[in-house]
Copies of this chain bind each other. A is one copy, B any other.
Amino acid sequence: MSNRLQRLFPPLVWLRGYQRHTLAQDILAGCIMTVLVIPQSLAYALLAGLPPETGLYASILPLLGYTLFASSRTLAIGPVALIALMSATAVGHIVEQGLAGYGAASLGLALISGIMLFGMGAARLGFIANFISHPVISGFITGSALVIIVSQLGSLLGVETHGGNVLALLDSLISGFSDFSATTALIGAGVIVFLVVSRRFAKPLLETFKFPKPVASSLARLAPMVAVIATSALVAGFQLGANGVAVIGDLPQGLPPLAMPELNLALVEALLVPAFLISLVIFVESTSIAHRMAARRGERLDPNQELMGLGAANVTSAFAGGLAVAGGFSRSVVNDEAGAQTQMASLFTALGIGIVTVFFSSLFHFLPEATLAATIIVAVTTLVDIRGLRETWRYSRQDGMALVATLLVTLLIGITEGILVGVGLSLVLYLYRTSRPHIAIVGRIPGTEHFRNEKRYTVETDARVIIMRVDEAIYFANAQYLEDRISEVLRQRPGATDLILMCTGVNTIDASALDILDTINTRLQSAGLRFHLAEVKGPVMDRLQSTRFMANLSGRVFLSTFEGWQTLTAHPSDPGAKTNS
């Protein structure tokens, strides 16, 4: 079996070493996951504006698609809150929710996103996830979580809401408030309290009852399922459906046939941009979780394989009548804690959900929508990261601004706009930052070969030799600034005969910067100064060789700043040399 094939299909590797006790662990994890994942899957389908059963369909076959290419052993795939909301917003812009075309458009979105993800993986574009900065991701996730919470308030209170941002959602909530159902609100509030309390106290409580730690932890995670069963029983027993409590109702029996989503050219065109953004978010969210998992297990993650796996999962989901899927945080953590060793656990989960969907879907008839809304609200609350905002703001005003801008735009305008503004802003801020690099005049720390900023250290300087250190790659956005700063320094130090540019921080010199260095050399020359370079890095020096600039250079290139200092200040007892205080 070729190495190439093994790299493309990682299961070929781990299946060979697969052992009986690993199997047992994976089966157990699969069973726990089945129970945990069902309420989530139903809930996120509703959040995406789709019938609840699509969430189940998206949790069966897509897991196989992902497993085929996955480099992560424990990332668990399925419908997730963020993507469900993005899907609802994108499709809602094109087709009105509840109309016949809505489902088709949603499937089309999953299909196109899947193709894009797979294509990016095949083209080895995995690095693009790095172009979205953490503050932007953090602002986007916090903002989306708040939008999701507000979007669920309606279901929680029995009021129908719609809108892609917090303002529109609250507006429709207020104007529809006459539909308020007290029973629904009571159920919802009860579930929230139950889930919050059990998250805090269930694990320690179970541990006091002598359950081993991992078992206690897994059992504690089953709280949503307990809430699902309890509230379903309540609604069925007291016939609360008549009291205005909206329930899931009848789910279709069995699985839908695999089918290509119905698409036309206009729909594809309308979906291209949202599909690209959703692909990005699917990838970024999934790999950031997978990275954390892999780090804990000392595994190696291949971003391009992850892209292909996520792509295959989404394409499969589109054919299976599901919705766009991604790696989910809570399900992955549970999968890991439940002892999953390989993606085989996912296959058992898929089998479990398949069995429930085919044989036991009628059990969910009396499940109140408010229970699912409460599940979503409690789940996404953990995504709101106020502490991260505070820390980022304190560390860097610029990063903090990018975070807050992304958050506010996501909340108040829309989630697509939020991610776009965030990405644009972090690029512009980065360029702006590098466009005014830190430039220091340095002097020698007496008795050493070290040169440091004369404003920060007591250093020896020489009026004839100016040594400037540029702490940034010199490139088109900052080369002009360097020239201006040199002119300024020369005006302040008229006695200078030599200028050394200390290049310890100069990692590249692009063509624009080369032009400007040439100009600087000419200007210095006509002012009677020689222009030297020092500590030029290997890769930079390689390129400078055989350029016009090097041919014109009036001075020399010194290996170290000290060498330049020694050469140019040949008489250190000279009155030109002095030590500052």
A residues adjacent to B (C-beta < 8 A): 127, 129-135, 295, 298, 300, 391-392, 395-396, 398-400, 426-427, 430-431, 433-438, 448-450, 453, 456, 471-473, 475-481, 487, 504-505, 507-508, 510-512, 514-515, 519, 522-523, 527, 537-539, 543, 547-548, 560
Q: Which residues of B contact A132 (CB under 8 A)?
A: 476
This chain: how many copies in the complex? 2
Chain B nearest Cβ from A140, distance in angstroms = 13
Cα distance A30–B449 when bound, in Å? 58
**Does the CB pair A504–B505 fall under 8 Å?**
yes
A-B contact pairs, 11 of them (CB 8 A): A127-B435, A130-B435, A130-B476, A131-B431, A131-B435, A430-B510, A449-B449, A450-B560, A504-B504, A505-B505, A505-B507
Q: A130-B476, A450-B560 given. 16 additional CB < 8 A pairs?
A: A127-B435, A130-B479, A131-B431, A133-B475, A134-B476, A134-B515, A298-B527, A395-B511, A395-B543, A398-B510, A399-B510, A399-B512, A434-B473, A438-B537, A448-B449, A472-B473
CB-CB under 8 A from A476, the residues of chain B are: 130-134, 426, 430
C-alpha gap A395/B511 in the complex (Å) = 7
Complex Cα gap A500–B398 (Å) = 28
A148 vs chain B, min Cβ distance (A): 24
Q: Mostly helix, strand, loop or mixed at chain A's interface? A: helix
**Closest residue to A396 on the B side, CB-wise?**
B511
CB distance from A472 to the nearest CB of B (A): 5
Task: List B contacts of A131 (CB < 8 A).
Answer: 431, 435, 476-477
- Minimum CB–CB distance from A120 to chain B (whole Å) comes to 15
**A431-B560 Cα distance, complex, nearest whole Å:** 29
For residue A307, give the distance in angstroms from its CB to the closest CB of chain B.
Answer: 14
- Complex CA–CA separation, A549 to B476 (angstroms): 33
Asked whether A133 and B505 contact (CB < 8 A) given A431-B427, A435-B127, the answer is: no
**Which residue of B130, B480, B487, B543 is within 8 Å of A130 (Cβ)?**
B480
Roughly how many angstroms separate A72 CA and B514 CA in the complex, as a whole number? Answer: 24
